[in-house]
Chains A and B, each alone.
Chain A
Amino acid sequence: MINKKALTSEAYLGLFLMLILAVLGIWAKGFYSINNVISLLNAYSYILIASIGMNMIIITSNIDVSTGALISVVCIVIAAFGKIGLPFGLLLPIAMLAGVILSTLNGLFITSLKIPAIVATLATTQIFQGVLPLVVEGSIYDLPASFTWLAFDAKLFGMIPLSLFMCLIVTVVFILFMRYSRFSKKLYAIGNNRTGARLSGINVNKTIVQTYAIAGALFGITAVIIATAGQRVTTTMGSGLEMTFIAAVVLGGTNTAGGSGRIFGTVIGALILAVIAPAINYLGISPNWSDAIKGTIIIVSVVVSTAKYRKRKRKLCMSAE
């Protein structure tokens, strides 16, 4: 099922990643220390989990720019529950549920009210971000040890963080889901040709709402990893993260016009983005460059992907004669 072309573009991405890692091995002293690798993998976990959700949304030719704000809200929600001593086993489902509710809201705005995805999610960004200061004053702090269990105590073999393990499960499940579920075919069909999908009997609106709901659950998991990293949860924990997720998806070869892209690409894309920030740090470049470098990588990858896209459309009949 693997297409030659897609393989090469993902292979290139993989090579690019190896190059970065090799450069870091040579010039960045201490980059491969256990501590750094583990903290990098922790960041990678939450970036990848949310990016998989974002990938599904983008495949349907939609977008979600409210993800960062949504995650901030979910962080505060579970902090409130964590404050009263709820264990991780309850915080996780609560976070996922909260994510589903908020993200479904996005999906409903887009489908029922027919608001373009970018506008709808820009608006909900403002709403999510705007509600928080009304409810919480700055942050929820002095959270108990039960709250930070995931970050400090949940290690497999005394070393590998549980968050990485969660990420692995999510990734494997979704790679299988996107390959073997009938639902996934609907996503690609909608992204390719909305009218065609409708005419094939697919309930386009319902499918889009469901996609946002699934992505919301993944955003919820990401929020748990982010929130439980410390004893204080502020109202802006997720701010700006949506750009990282979108970047990971685009970098992974998913066309922003929708209809194509696979989880595996996102897996690599997210890793590149997770490496950039610490890499810059270890290379001795000012961290202020971090965002600019991420931005440059996004521009380059989008230009490359749209160039591919433009090439493919030419008038049918003209070339046939």
Chain B
Amino acid sequence: MEETILELKNIVKAFPGVKALNGIDFNLKSGEVHAICGENGAGKSTLMKVVCGVHQPEEGTMSVNGTLVEFHNPMEAYEKGVSIIFQETSLFEEMTVLDNLFLGHEVSKKVGLISVIDYETMRHKANEIFQRLNTEMNLNEQIKNLGVAGKQMVEIAKALTFNANIIIFDEPTACLTQREVTALFQIISNLKKEGFGIVYISHRLEEIFEMCDRVTVIRDGQYISTKAVKNTNKDELVAEMVGRKMGSYYPKTETEIGEEIFRVKGYYDDGFLDNISFHVRKGEILGFAGLAGAGRTELMESVCGFTGHAAGEIHLDGKKIEIRNYKDAKSHGIVYVSEDRGKYGLITEMSIEQNITLPQLKNFANQLSLLDRKKEGEVGAEYIQEIGIKAPNSRFLVKNLSGGNQQKVSVAKALALKPKILILDEPTRGVDVNAKAEIHRIISELTQKGLTIIMVSSELPELIGMCDRIYVMKEGRLVGCFDREEVTQEKILALELESERV
């Protein structure tokens, strides 16, 4: 009965610059739910993408139902019995439920010499599957008209059309309501009884203890441990997920912290951000921790006026201010550095100095509204010097810089606006260790010059090393705040993972 149906040995997967997976072992038995947990970026999703053929591993072997396999796309994986329900759905929005279920493996029949799609059989099979899942589904509905739970149900049904016996759920409950979660758990436990092997990835520890039989922890792409759920507890799992001891390479220098400078009160936006209030004092580095999707970026973008539709009060220097758009924010000295510098932050086809002056071209124009190239060059050179951008000169194109130096250009561009409050969203994402340390040094120096910094980061050691205070966000709300003295990774993670749903 309990046979191993999926076995991974020593899986290694590298992306340019990072080893995303470094020697992962994993096995799954039939009739069990096996959880994989780890912090943001530990490699959970990457591992599953390797399993189902989205990525191909550099090293390691994988066997499914007893035979060694190599997958080049999810279709091959499906056919061998491995199906995955992705975090972001991979369905085709304009097509019907039925077409989606059988896409790429439509049932066909011969009419004379021509083979045509056999809708009758497909419809019959689909109805059977949805009955098994105990779900009502209109097979003619277009996917775009379904809710998140409906889409997920279609994905599960799709897995069953292949006769897969291994189903991978990647954060399936992230967007579901309590009632939908209960329904999903019922389905999962039915599948388990039918002998399916289920891999379950989730941030929510409660769910792991409620649903799963075994749990494997991975951290920084490394395999850490596999345990039976009944032989472990939350604290032990959290400790294993965090693992590393705090390094001392965060050059946090003591700064003088002044009066409160910025306060957000009772902030709401379109039903996601929920009653958020926080404040920052002058010279402080304020951190925002939270899992992916907790709403940190949304909060910052909303505060800076990118999204509109927000309610709540913002006070600067004790005075209430209105921020309707980013221009308002900038004029009040609030400047935002986006987490995705490639997409929103920098124009990589332009030079360093052009990027720096872009948000304030008015200040670099002469009487004829032509750009003052000389002045541009001076400012470019000034910032290259000041924050140590490694480039031959300020005319250098941004696309030719390394990730770390691009990030410095982003920061320079923000600093050139002479902000009072600088909001950095994931300032060290995708940069190497040295550049990271340098960016941390720059942040520290800036606060010494009296700048106030709000920093969003998914890396807890970075937040703990750099920040004076850390707010923890979850599902659009603030769920806690720690001072520098009392904070530990375990405390933050415990808050992040705590679920009030169960």
Contact = CB atoms under 8 A, between A and B. Distances in A.
Contacts of A188: 92, 94-95, 99
Contacts of A320: 147-149, 175-177
Given A185-B103, A201-B104, A318 B92 contact: no
A310 interface: no
Contacts of A316: 88, 148, 175
Main secondary structure of the interface of B (DSSP, over half): loop
B224 interface: no
Nearest to A257: B94
Contact of A193 (B90, B99, B119): B90
B142 interface: yes
B74 A200 contact: yes
B246 interface: no
Interface in A176-222: 179-182, 185, 188-189, 191-193, 196-202
Contact of B271 (A1, A182, A312, A321): A321
Contact of B92 (A2, A179, A192, A321): A192
Contacts of B99: 185, 188
B53 to A, nearest CB: 8
Contacts of A199: 54, 73-75, 90
Given A192-B94, A196-B91, A320-B176, A181 B116 contact: yes
Nearest to B54: A199
Contacts of A1: 96, 119, 140
A316 B144 CA distance: 11
Interface string B418-462: 000000000000000000000000000000000000000000000
B272 A189 contact: no
Contacts of B365: none
B417 to A, nearest CB: 28
Interface in B40-92: 54, 73-76, 88, 90-92
A318 B148 CA distance: 11
A259 interface: yes
A196 B92 contact: yes
Contact of A189 (B54, B92, B175): B92
B458 to A, nearest CB: 17
A321 B75 contact: no
A201 B96 contact: no
Contacts of B475: 321
A203 to B, nearest CB: 10
B260 to A, nearest CB: 31
A84 to B, nearest CB: 36
A87 B371 CA distance: 68
Contacts of A255: 94
Given A180-B117, A189-B103, A321 B95 contact: no
Contact of A202 (B96, B104, B174): B104
Contacts of A197: 92
B75 A318 contact: no
Nearest to B140: A1
Contact of A200 (B103, B117, B175, B270): B103
A317 B292 CA distance: 12
B116 A180 contact: yes
Q: With a 10 A CB-CB cut-off, give which of A185, A255, A259 has the most chain B CB atoms.
A: A185
Interface string A223-260: 00000000000000000000000000000000100011
A201 B91 CA distance: 14
Interface residues of B, number: 39
Contacts of A189: 92, 95, 103-104
A51 B116 CA distance: 24
B98 to A, nearest CB: 8
Contacts of A319: 271
B1 to A, nearest CB: 32
A320 B108 CA distance: 37
A317 B174 contact: yes
A174 to B, nearest CB: 14
B93 interface: yes
B476 interface: yes
A260 B76 CA distance: 27
Interface in B78-137: 88, 90-96, 99, 103-104, 106, 108, 115-117, 119
A54 B76 CA distance: 32
A303 B192 CA distance: 49
A318 to B, nearest CB: 5
B54 A321 contact: no
A3 interface: yes
A4 B115 CA distance: 28
A193 B117 contact: no
A181 B117 contact: yes
A255 B74 CA distance: 28
B293 interface: yes
Contacts of B147: 320
B140 A318 contact: no
B73 A198 contact: yes
Interface string B146-184: 011100000000000000000000000011110000000
A3 B142 contact: yes
Contacts of B117: 179-182, 185
Nearest to B104: A200
Contacts of B174: 317
A314 to B, nearest CB: 10
A200 B75 contact: yes
Contact of B106 (A5, A182, A196, A201): A182
A316 B140 CA distance: 22
A193 B86 CA distance: 15
Interface in B463-481: 475-476
A259 B148 CA distance: 20
A249 B271 CA distance: 39
A201 B74 CA distance: 7
A2 B98 CA distance: 12
B210 to A, nearest CB: 21
Nearest to A312: B144
B272 A318 contact: yes
Given A181-B116, A320-B147, A201 B75 contact: yes
B75 A192 contact: no
A316 B89 CA distance: 10
Nearest to A255: B94
A7 to B, nearest CB: 11
A193 B94 CA distance: 10
Contacts of A2: 140
Contacts of A318: 270-272
15 contacts: A1-B119, A2-B140, A3-B96, A189-B103, A198-B73, A199-B74, A199-B90, A201-B74, A259-B93, A259-B95, A317-B148, A317-B174, A317-B175, A317-B293, A318-B272
Interface of A: 1-3, 5, 179-182, 185, 188-189, 191-193, 196-202, 255, 259-260, 312, 316-321
Given A193-B93, A201-B75, 5 more contacts: A185-B95, A185-B99, A188-B94, A200-B75, A201-B73
Query: 5 nearest interchain CB pairs?
Result: A201-B75, A180-B116, A192-B92, A260-B94, A320-B175
